[in-house]
Amino acid sequence: MTPTSSPAKAAKTPPAGLSRDQLLELYYWMRLTRTLEERLVALYRQTKVVGGLFRSLGQEADAVGSAFALDKQAGDILSPLIRNLGSMLVRGATPVEVLKQYMAKGDSPTRGRELNIHFGGPERGFIGQISHLGDMVPVMAGVTLTFKMRKEKRVGLVYVGDGATSTGAFHEGLNFAAVQQCPLVCIVENNKYAYSTPTRKMTAAKRFMDKAIGYGIPGVEADGNDVLAVYEVTKAAVERARQGGGPTLVELHTFRRKGHAEHDNQSYVKPGEIEEWAEKNDPLDRSIKTLTTDYGFAMDQLTAIDAKVVAEVDAATDEAEKSGPPEPRDALNGIYADPPVAPVLWYREGIRAAVDKNERAQGWGTYNG
């Protein structure tokens, strides 16, 4: 095949006002998500990742396509879920900070206070989640209520999974946002499993989008593994919110191809299901096919992006590994604005660190006299 960067004659016009450069950009963010997570797996196996590792393998299109529909200039804000690394990268999170965060470095975004991708701030366009599923829906209702009160043309986007739709917080938050007509888009990533629990044990509803009726808001759906379809459906919901139309519930159909976290062997998944999604419905494979077949991009343009991504992740890894762990006593800083430092307990006065060497398994409860 002769490499070429000019579109083939029959190239389609990109949907929803996307430019050809933006088509490549979407591919770039999905590839970056996957490559960065693969790097995290390697670091996890080297025990350099301190806590659990959460993959979004197979869900890159839903994260990237939806986040891409927000407007950076307008100051839109999203709140990601654990499988929205791609959304955060699109909004400006960097690979080096994600790596530092996972490795619990002292100069990681949360200075070692929180795990994985739980970080962010309104000024960055993404607000870090907490582990309690559904809680970010009321919080984002409040963020977008503020947009409305200040008459700002900004939009918020909050992700929940199929599992979180069962929580009270999801219901209370979405109902509040609907009553107040907050400019909030709520995305349900239906990836078929909440940890090991299949959707049929999570809800008796046929479709998550149908829940929208109960809140008096529109419910829409899209193929979550088609990045362009995700972009299109989210963009419409975002613009509707921006124009004062209130919240939309968007269901994106996808599939979680890895376990809840890296330790989970997915024994509960029907044999062949993961392989089938990998083979027939991988968002990156589908994107490559669309870009080369429908939009006339040459394969070398995509492999060049792949190479650029690997170089970026390599450089980020080198940089992240240079950082050290946090100073132990930084643990006491910043629980309140005032007082800024919590008092040290009497038996730790004058002591810099609790232990010289971190106590690991052999130091825990193994006293045998």
Partner 1 sequence: MAEVTYLEGIRQAMLEEMERDPNVFLMGEDIGAYGGAFKATEGLLEKFGESRVIDTPISEAGFVGAAAGAAHMGMRPVVEMQFIDFISCAYDMLTNYVATARYRAFLPCPMVVRGPSGGYVRGGPFHSQNPEAAFLHTPGLKIVYPSSAADAKGLLKSAIRDEDCVLFFEHKYLYRRIKEEMPQGDHLVPIGEAKVVRPGKHLSIITYAATVWKSLEAAEQLAKEDGIEVEVLDLRSLLPMDEEAIVRTVKKTNRVLVVHEDTVTGGIAGEITAKINELCFEWLDAPVRRVAAHDIPLPYAPPLEDFVLPQTSDIVRAARWVAAY
Judged by the rule CB under 8 A, the positions of this chain that interact with partner 1 are 110, 113-114, 118-122, 127-128, 130-132, 135, 137-147, 149, 168-169, 171-173, 175-176, 179-180, 334-339, 342, 346
User: CB of residue 204 vs partner 1: minimum separation in angstroms?
Assistant: 22
Task: Give the DSSP per-residue string, 182-218.
Answer: -SEEEEEEE-SEETTEEGGGT-S-S-GGGHHHHHTS-
Least Cβ distance, residue 172 to partner 1 (angstroms):
3
Pick 147 or 297: Cβ nearer partner 1 = 147
Pairing, β 248-253 against β 219-223: parallel
Minimum distance of partner 1 from residue 216's CB (angstroms):
12
Give the closest residue to 307 by CA, choosing from 31, 75, 93, 26.
Answer: 31
Q: φ, ψ for residue 252 (rounded to 5)? A: -110, 125
Q: Is the dihedral of CA 229, 130, 113, 72 positive or negative?
A: positive
Lookup: tokens for 276? 């089938």
Start-to-end C-alpha separation, the chain: 72
Of the pair 60, 135, the CB lying nearest partner 1 is at 135
Q: Which is nearer to partner 1, 336 or 367 (CB)?
A: 336
Q: How far is the CB of 231 from partner 1 (least distance, A)?
A: 25
* In the complex, minimum distance from the CB of residue 73 to partner 1, in angstroms, rounded to a whole number: 18
The H or E element that residue 160 is part of is: strand 156-161
Identity of the residue, 30 or 136, whose beta carbon is nearer to partner 1 in the bound complex: 136
- Which one, 114 or 189, has the nearer CB to partner 1? 114
Nearest to 143 by CA among 132, 158, 131: 158
> What distance lies between CA 203 and its chain's CA centroid?
23
Number of H helices, E strands in the chain: 11, 7
- Identify the DSSP state of 363: G
Q: How far is the CB of 279 from partner 1 (least distance, A)?
A: 39
Residues 183 and 193: their CA atoms lie apart, in Å, by: 29
- Among 299, 315, 239, which residue's Cα sits nearest to residue 27? 299
Q: Which is nearer to partner 1, 261 or 331 (CB)?
A: 331
Closest to partner 1 by CB, 42 vs 341, is: 341
Give the nearer residue to partner 1 in terms of CB position, either 337 or 355. 337
At closest approach, how far in Å is the CB of 138 from partner 1?
A: 3
Residue type, 328: P
Place of tokens 């470095």: 105
Q: How far is the CB of 90 from partner 1 (least distance, A)?
A: 19
CB of 11 to partner 1, least distance (A): 43
In the complex with partner 1, the residue whose CB is nearer, 14 or 328, is 328
Structure tokens at 207: 């479709």
Q: Which residues pair with 121 in a beta bridge?
A: 126
